[in-house]
Amino acid sequence: MRYELTDLKLFLAIAEARSLSAGASSLHITASSASYRIKNLEQALGTYLFLRSARGMDLTPAGEVLARHVRGLLAGVERMHDEVGTFSAGLKGQIRILANSSSLNGFIIPAVSGFLVSNPNVNIDLEERASAMIPAAIAAGEADIGVLAGSVEASGVDVLRYAVDTLILVVPVNHPLAREKEVRFGAALDFDFICMEKHSSNFLFLREVAQRAGKNPNVRIHAHSFEAVLALVAGGVGIALVPESVAAASLREGKVTKVGLLEPWALRELNLILKSGEQLPSFTAAFIQFLMSE
């Protein structure tokens, strides 16, 4: 059974507009031609796709199923065009990555530099997102690879254990907490905090665990990067919740002091997420292998 790509695009346009004329117009097709194409599509499938009424065009149950498949199909075609199009710019591939802030800054960015130097014909598109949002985005094909903290309970994705990191408090060397080896996070909330930007996954997580403790953090300033956060801590402005991996250099140089957290959530397993059943391009598979071997 054969389907014209234009017919599938038209079907989806009409479904989203709930109007034959509006859907046809969006693809620069006349309403009469659109009606003919949809009738042929329904005939080829052996079922009605739309319920036609004075209010417009509503999908039948069969139409709902087809719409779900067509969205996936067109997204795949779009990705195909994007990947093939990179060859005209002299590239061999582009990898899209979604990661939470701790894995992005502590693991992915350092690894990316090594991979890109070794693979000059590959580009990487990095985007930070909260861990909870990443599995659904990968399942929907919004990116090739996701890296997040914590367990994953989502359908449509495969999970690979990637690394383990620890969230710690970093405090000025002369801070009252600097004498403590470990504390409860609730006790730390009595002090001023320096945080990442308001939309960052790091700050959203901090705010969530603070609210669980029944408190709101007193944020002196939101900084644009972990480097800026650590500099402000070193300057005595406040304390911060950061992954130990991103604070390692500052700790070694004695610029800040580490205070451990007694909460179980401080120990974080980082997982790598892939879309189930997806056949990865060779350059994406090579990057995953590179990450897992680091």
Instruction: Give the span between the Cα atoms of 7 and 36, in whole angstroms.
Output: 10
Q: What is the pLDDT of residues 32-87, one digit of tens each?
A: 888 989 998 888 888 999 998 888 899 999 999 999 888 888 877 777 766 666 55
Q: With bands split at pLDDT 50, 70 and 90, how would you rate the model's confidence at 200?
A: confident
The ranges assigned to domains in the chain are: 5-86, 92-294
What does pTM read for this prediction?
Answer: 0.60
Q: Give residue 151's pLDDT.
A: 79
In percent, the amount of the chain with pLDDT more than 90 equals 48
Q: Give residue 144's pLDDT.
A: 93
238 neighbors 220 (Cβ within 8 angstroms): yes
Could you tell me which CATH class the domain 92-294 is placed in?
alpha beta
Give Cα separations from 137 to 68, 96, 133, 217 (angstroms). Answer: 16, 11, 7, 30
Q: What is the pLDDT of residues 90-146, one digit of tens each?
A: 446 889 999 988 888 888 888 888 889 888 888 999 998 888 889 988 988 889 999
Average pLDDT, the chain: 89
- Residue type at 22? A
pLDDT at 206 over 90: yes
Q: Give residue 85's pLDDT.
A: 62
Tokens of 50: 């739309």
Place of tokens 């996936």: 72
Domain 5-86 has CATH 3.40.50.720: no
Q: What is the pLDDT of residues 235-254, one digit of tens each?
A: 999 999 999 989 999 999 99
